[in-house]
Amino acid sequence: GESVGLHLPTLSVQEGDNSIINCAYSNSASDYFIWYKQESGKGPQFIIDIRSNMDKRQGQRVTVLLNKTVKHLSLQIAATQPGDSAVYFCAEILDSSYKLIFGSGTRLLVRP
């Protein structure tokens, strides 16, 4: 939305390049992780998810990697397009907590 991310870290990439967005999560007991994309004026949109018993999951042009040892999550976007420009959030869920804990977000800018 309009109020999102005035002081977010920004990743600037050339159209067609690959993008890697990183996230450190907070709780070693979290068992489910999600990446969301938020465009201006919209709510977060689901991109891809991964459970704690996996270390990699692939979708269409996106891959999520999970490293539980260092509590790190990454989102890889292949052949980045102008439509990928947005703020990206990682989120974690503790089993049975019914709530998402969001990271602080990264703004992705795609240069034409």
Partner 1 sequence: KAGVTQTPRYLIKTRGQQVTLSCSPISGHRSVSWYQQTPGQGLQFLFEYFSETQRNKGNFPGRFSGRQFSNSRSEMNVSTLELGDSALYLCASSPGFSSEKLFFGSGTQLSVL
The pair phi, psi for residue 30, each rounded to 5°, is: -65, 140
Query: In the chain, at which residue ranges do the beta strands (DSSP E only) sit?
Result: 10-14, 19-24, 30-38, 45-51, 56-58, 62-67, 72-77, 86-94, 100-102, 106-111
Q: Which is nearer to partner 1, 17 or 55 (CB)?
A: 55
> In angstroms, what is the minimal distance from the CB of 16 to partner 1?
29
| Cα of 78 vs its chain's centroid, Å | 14
Q: Which is nearer to partner 1, 80 or 105 (CB)?
A: 105
> In angstroms, what is the minimal distance from the CB of 30 to partner 1?
9
Interacting residues with partner 1 (CB under 8 A): 1-7, 31-32, 34, 36, 41-46, 49, 51, 89, 91, 93, 95-105
> In angstroms, what is the minimal distance from the CB of 50 to partner 1?
11
Q: Which is nearer to partner 1, 42 or 111 (CB)?
A: 42
Separation CA 104–CA 10 (nearest Å)? 12
Q: Which is nearer to partner 1, 14 or 45 (CB)?
A: 45
